[in-house]
Amino acid sequence: MKVCIYGAGNIGCYLGGRLAAAGANVDFIVRPRIQQQLQQYGVTVSDYLGEKNSVPASKLQLSTDQNIAAQADIIFVCVKSAATEQVAHELKEILKKNTIIISFQNGLSNVGILKQVLFGHTILEGMVPFNVAALGNGIFHQGTEGALYVKKHAGLNELVAAFNGAQLELKLEDDMQAIQWAKLLLNLNNSVNALSQLPLKQQLSIRAYRQCLAMAQIEALGLLKIAKIQPAQLTAIPAQLVPYVLKLPNSIFNLLSKKMLAIDPLARSSMADDLMAGRATEIDWINGEVVRLATQLNLKAPINQKLIELIKQAEITPKAWSAIALRDQLETKLEER
């Protein structure tokens, strides 16, 4: 089985690095900047539990040529959501008919875009629950816990075995909509974290920031209930109860949060990384999904809309928001719900 990582950024390098370190046959399609880094240092993948594996540059299959995807049995699409349509057109010219494509991307819209362009191909939803940070020198670090999910398909047995060999759990699931919405509810914290400019664990230790996330989640959960969409349970606490846990005093939250999600002290959201690097964020594919659902229901999502506006302002002029100031901004929008 040959796996191709199409868009080897943080997630792509981490997943591909874990598989390659376990002996899988992995091609990486990379940007020149990432190619130079990996050619110099190889790739090292580590996680919050202390696991660490390296693959020397001489053993990595790196290319900037998208045509090598034609050789793949399975392609992981790991590009930013804004690039999905472009990637779909690039793949359309080279794909084998029996290639399986898995979208390991944020949001809920990417598979639909891929299917529109790549009609007749097998395209599956995937979900990466954990945060991956690029630490430089080819090091990619998993900062939070969770199992990978992919839409159930008969052709994935060898991939599941490869991930087992890499000590990464891959679950096959029929109802990926429930999985993706559950992940997105957690990802609503990306914007709060990015605006705080703090590591995830530190940000979540501050009650007013958690209250901001709770407001965004409660708004989203209300819309999901109207749309009759039941999010899956990805943590020890059901999605519907998470906002109420977030609002608890610090002493109680600290006890319960240990059961919810393990977080590395240095982990940040991918959105925070994008802002720090001066890149456009994926806010339109995270909080934007909630706003799109509200529009479909002829309703509004003012909390999530406000977070979108604040992130877009931060893309132009970075600003660290205090927990109280951010909470006050969002509370003024509650009356519009």
Could you tell me what percent of the chain has a pLDDT over 90? 85
In this prediction, residue 264 carries a pLDDT of: 80
pLDDT band at residue 260, thresholds of 50, 70 and 90? Answer: low
Looking at residues 252-280, what average pLDDT do you find?
83
In this prediction, residue 197 carries a pLDDT of: 96
The phi, psi pair for 54, rounded to 5°, reads -130, 150
What count of other Cβ atoms lies within 10 Å of the Cβ of residue 267? 22
Please, which contacts does 229-233 make with residues 24 or more away whose CB atoms are closer than 8 Å? Answer: 229/177, 229/178, 229/181, 230/178, 231/178, 231/181, 231/182, 231/185, 232/173, 232/175, 232/178, 232/179, 232/181, 232/182, 233/182
| Whether the predicted pLDDT of 259 surpasses 70 | no
The phi, psi pair for 334, rounded to 5°, reads -60, -35
What is the per-residue pLDDT across 88-128, written as a single tens digit (0 to 9) for each?
999 998 998 889 999 999 999 999 999 999 998 999 999 99
CATH class of 177-336: mainly alpha
Which of 134, 137, 138, 77 lies closest to 110 in space, CA to CA? Answer: 77
Could you tell me what percent of the chain has a pLDDT over 70? 98
Helix (H/G/I), strand (E/B), else coil: 37? helix
Counting Cβ atoms within 10 Å, is residue 98 exposed (0-12), middle (13-18) or buried (19+)?
Answer: exposed
pLDDT band at residue 280, thresholds of 50, 70 and 90? Answer: very high
Distance, in Å, from the CA atom of 6 to the CA atom of 9, rounded to the nearest integer, reads: 9
Domains of the chain, by residue range, sit at: 3-174, 177-336
In this prediction, residue 87 carries a pLDDT of: 96
| Whether the predicted pLDDT of 261 surpasses 70 | no
- Is pTM beyond 0.85? Reply is yes
What is the per-residue pLDDT across 16-58, written as a single tens digit (0 to 9) for each?
999 999 999 999 999 999 999 999 999 999 999 899 999 999 9
CATH topology of domain 3-174: Rossmann fold (3.40.50)
Residue 164 pairs in a beta bridge with none
What is the per-residue pLDDT across 174-212, written as a single tens digit (0 to 9) for each?
999 999 999 999 999 999 999 999 999 899 999 999 999
